Structure 1
């Protein structure tokens, strides 16, 4: 079952897409959007997690300036608008919204149910920040941009974090990837996976960016990770 939910914060209320499993949730997963809003690809990610038995919630992080926006990364003018919207986002405020979403998700689970987070692109960066700044139980980031600039926060990672890194990411060069590895390879809570030959967006649920073989591998790793740490 799919639908919507309203999440309340001290700064107001915002909407989120919700996908429910057929039975009692084995846990919850907060799905963190790319720069394209809660579009068909992000809704599909939620639906897939629900099919795997999780309650999945994707909050609208652009609610304060572009509520409900849905953009297609394969359409150039929409991609360009998405870049503009990204520049308007207060990422610290977005972490507050994600924390509220995590709290809401916990309240929808049976007692002691666990909540994970997974993010893509902008969401991949925010997934790292969620891992360092919140009490989420496990996090996964796909091709997060600028994580090498956030390594000063790595001491805050107290629960498992997995990052998927496409080696030919045109937004994250090889030097940045090397810094990520140097900073996180020895962290006991962090697992890094590299994908040679793959570019940014390779694991998109739909659209031209998807690289099927690598995406399927990454999705399998994510599924096993959440099964181990959420249930």
Structure 2
């Protein structure tokens, strides 16, 4: 269903790769930019794009690490892969990543079968980037799954102009209770933000074939995300 395409940077000086999955049939279709975890555009992210396409959305997963190491494709199964992934995350430039997400949003909007509305969904590092997409880009709707570091960017919440949905694991090993409390306090009364906290599950509970996947929580969160995008991208 999917294919690898080239995405032009905002300044037109370079291109980077992205995995694009498109629905069958005739459009126009809403779009979703799918932002990877620290493991790159791997099999799990590509499978998510394929699932979004089956649900009637154009799905594009840009290579967020292309400036560091193009075509990263790791899993959470070995210590060596974790070490490589964390090394890439530590070197990742947030501001450059936002520019690449903006370029990806434009790429989807420019497709012939796009309906002109494009949202963002991200996981882990991608969850942080999805939140920042809501504050710094023209994403029409943004969803973050267990976005690490969101608590450090709550000062940008005033810039959220379009709907945002945030999913958190209450027993997250990377986002502690204090960080979760800061997020609740800052965003629970924000008119454009919806928060969901999932008890008894850990970080990456929705990762495809992940070590901490919880099928019940993943199914609930994914259903809420689908309803959210159907409501705001049609």
Q: With structure 1 as the length reference, what TM-score do the two structures score? A: 0.97
Select which of 19, 22, 46 maps to 1:20: 22
The residue that corresponds to 1:227 in the other structure is 230
Select which of 186, 189, 194 maps to 1:191: 194
Select which of 34, 39, 54 maps to 1:36: 39
**Other structure's SS at 1:114 match:** strand
What CA distance in whole angstroms lies between the structure 1 residues aligned with 2:114 and 2:144? Answer: 27
The residue that corresponds to 2:108 in the other structure is 105
Select which of 136, 144, 148 maps to 2:147: 144
The residue that corresponds to 2:83 in the other structure is 80
Select which of 112, 119, 133 maps to 1:116: 119
The residue that corresponds to 1:3 in the other structure is 3
Stretches of structure 1 that go unaligned for 5 or more consecutive residues are none
What CA distance in whole angstroms lies between the structure 2 residues aligned with 1:35 and 1:196? Answer: 24
What CA distance in whole angstroms lies between the structure 1 residues aligned with 2:202 and 2:91? Answer: 25
Stretches of structure 2 that go unaligned for 5 or more consecutive residues are none
CA contact (8 A) 2:128 2:144 kept: yes
CA contact (8 A) 2:28 2:115 kept: no
CA contact (8 A) 1:3 1:17 kept: yes
Change in CA separation of 1:71 and 1:25 when aligned onto 2, cut-off 3 Å: farther
What CA distance in whole angstroms lies between the structure 2 residues aligned with 1:111 and 1:214? Answer: 31
Farther-moved stretch of structure 1 (112-121 vs 131-140): 112-121
| Paired residue total | 231
Give how far 1:179 is off: 0.3
- Which stretches of structure 1, 4 residues or more, deviate above 4 A after TM superposition? 109-112
CA contact (8 A) 1:28 1:109 kept: no
The residue that corresponds to 2:98 in the other structure is 95
Q: CA RMSD in A?
A: 1.1
Q: Can you list the C-alpha shifts for 1:107-151, whole angstroms capped at 9, x where unaligned?
A: 115575210100000000000000000111000000001111100
Change in CA separation of 1:109 and 1:192 when aligned onto 2, cut-off 3 Å: farther
Give how far 1:4 is off: 1.1
**Other structure's SS at 2:29 match:** coil
